[in-house]
Copies of this chain bind each other. A is one copy, B any other.
Amino acid sequence: MGWQRGTDGPPCPGGHALRGENQMKTIAAVVDDIYEDLELWYPRLRLEEEGWKVIVAGPAAGKTYAGKHGYPCRTDAAFSDLRASDFDGLLVPGGFAPDKMRRDTHVLGLTREIAGSGKLVAFICHAGWVLISAGVLKGKRATSTVGIRDDMVNAGALWEDSPLVVDGNLVSSRTPADLPVFARGMVDWLLSH
């Protein structure tokens, strides 16, 4: 795939197979400036805690993007480097980064392909915007920050006010307050698929 891992924040502790019995999984995460810091980092570190690999992609590879509160994240890859077939799932964090990422054709193509192939697509808070623009929400149960509820409903989602909504391969939560159940939902989904 050609990327080099590198982070300004915590680098990947890859290689710590903390649960030896787990099958290796590789998850793509997408990022851009003003991402919600914990909505990227909590699930990322949690998946790494399982011994799995998380590849973080942004507009450019090897560049550092700043969270809404300032936490830096250096990308392993560019959006255009990612191939859906290399991944077991996709994580889309919130913040205002989704407002930018939804304009990127590679992000939208990746989201559509991963969603369409029945692999995990996990999204939280404002991340629903990316799924709206990828056109994958019609008739699907999902949640988001209440701020984009109307956009979700207008895109055909069956919106629920719940900490964790799982509809097939779509796993969604509302806000950073839901992160513990969101990450556990991702882990449980990946362990059972």
Contact = CB atoms under 8 A, between A and B. Distances in A.
Interface of A: 9-13, 16, 18, 37-38, 41-42, 45-46, 48-49, 67, 69-72, 163, 175-181, 183-184
A85 to B, nearest CB: 26
| Copies of this chain in the oligomer | 2
A18 B180 contact: yes
A76 to B, nearest CB: 15
A178 B15 CA distance: 11
A179 B48 CA distance: 9
A134 to B, nearest CB: 26
A72 B70 CA distance: 10
A177 B37 contact: no
Given A41-B41, A42-B42, A48-B180, 14 more contacts: A10-B38, A10-B177, A13-B179, A13-B181, A16-B163, A16-B180, A16-B181, A38-B71, A46-B46, A46-B180, A49-B181, A67-B69, A69-B71, A69-B72
